[in-house]
């Protein structure tokens, strides 16, 4: 990784917060720009700080991680948010994705998987554990709207890539299945975002399923 990935942690569990801070600062290419027990001073904590991704606990006293995600995306749209939680209930999953979270992982995730998830988010991916990916898809499918009347002019290859995204596949898995490079996948996804007028993989998946684009 050529650029240092700066991460700010919001986690009320002191042991986990310090462990994540330790992990980030010991992993080459990563730096913890701040670690806070709550989002009471969210905007002040992020203002003027070099931050690429917020690692956000979903359950905190005061401002929840979901509400904090909405605030971050409104005031700092360039910052990605990776939600973490011990819960995997449908309502929280749906709210986190709709709030603009770029990914969602369980706190039982291993240190290596945490780093991999952060890397995926920075590359434009949407890391979710398989069980959570299935839950998100079930939620969207149960809230399906009528087919879109708009022609988004997606190419056949872009539709294939989008279909794979809705199946919860990673960039590498999509590249392997379609026998094309990851860089080509990234180009296709950038075009998909532009055509669908979205800014993240979860938004693209939600729109694809709700409007029956694929």
Q: Are 209 and 161 in contact (CB under 8 A)?
A: no
Q: Which residues contact 147 (CB under 8 A, 6 or more apart)?
A: 211, 212
Q: Residue 211: helix, strand or coil by DSSP?
A: coil
Q: How high is the pLDDT of residue 18?
A: 95
Nearest CA-CA partner of 36 in 44, 45, 23: 45
HSE (side-chain half, CA atoms, 13 Å) at 25: 12
Within 8 A by CB and 6+ apart from 23, the residues are 111, 114, 115
* Beta strand spans in the chain (E): 5-10, 30-36, 53-57, 80-85, 103-106
Q: How many residues does the chain have?
A: 214
pLDDT of 131 reads 66
Residues 6+ apart with CB under 8 A from 79: 46, 51, 52, 53, 54, 72, 73
Domains of the chain, each with CATH number or no CATH? 5-138 (3.40.50.2300), 145-210 (1.10.10.10)
In the chain, which residues have pLDDT < 50?
Answer: 1, 145
Residues 125-184 pLDDT 10s: 776 666 666 666 666 666 554 555 677 889 999 999 998 887 777 788 888 999 999 889
pLDDT of residue 149: 60
Q: For a pLDDT cut of 90, what percent of the chain falls above it?
A: 38
């Amino acid at each position: 990784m050529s650029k240092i990935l700066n991460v700010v942690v919001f986690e009320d569990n002191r042991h986990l917060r310090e462990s994540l801070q330790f992990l980030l600062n010991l992993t080459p290419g990563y730096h913890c720009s701040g670690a806070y027990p709550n989002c009471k001073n969210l905007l002040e904590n992020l203002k003027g700080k070099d931050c690429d991704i917020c690692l956000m606990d979903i359950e905190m006293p005061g401002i929840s991680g979901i509400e904090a995600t909405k605030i971050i995306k409104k005031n700092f749209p360039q910052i990605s948010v990776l939600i973490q939680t011990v819960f995997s209930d449908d309502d929280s999953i749906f709210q986190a994705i709709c709030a603009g979270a770029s990914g969602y992982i369980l706190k039982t995730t291993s240190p290596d998987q945490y780093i991999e998830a952060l890397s995926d988010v920075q590359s434009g991916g949407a890391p979710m554990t398989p069980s959570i990916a299935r839950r998100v898809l079930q939620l969207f499918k149960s809230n399906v709207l009528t087919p879109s009347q708009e022609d988004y002019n997606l190419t056949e290859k872009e539709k294939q890539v989008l279909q794979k995204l809705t199946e919860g596949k990673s960039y590498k898995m999509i590249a392997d299945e379609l026998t094309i490079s990851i860089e080509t996948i990234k180009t296709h996804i950038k075009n998909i975002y532009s055509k669908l007028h979205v800014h993240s993989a979860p938004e693209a998946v939600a729109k694809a399923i709700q409007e029956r684009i694929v």
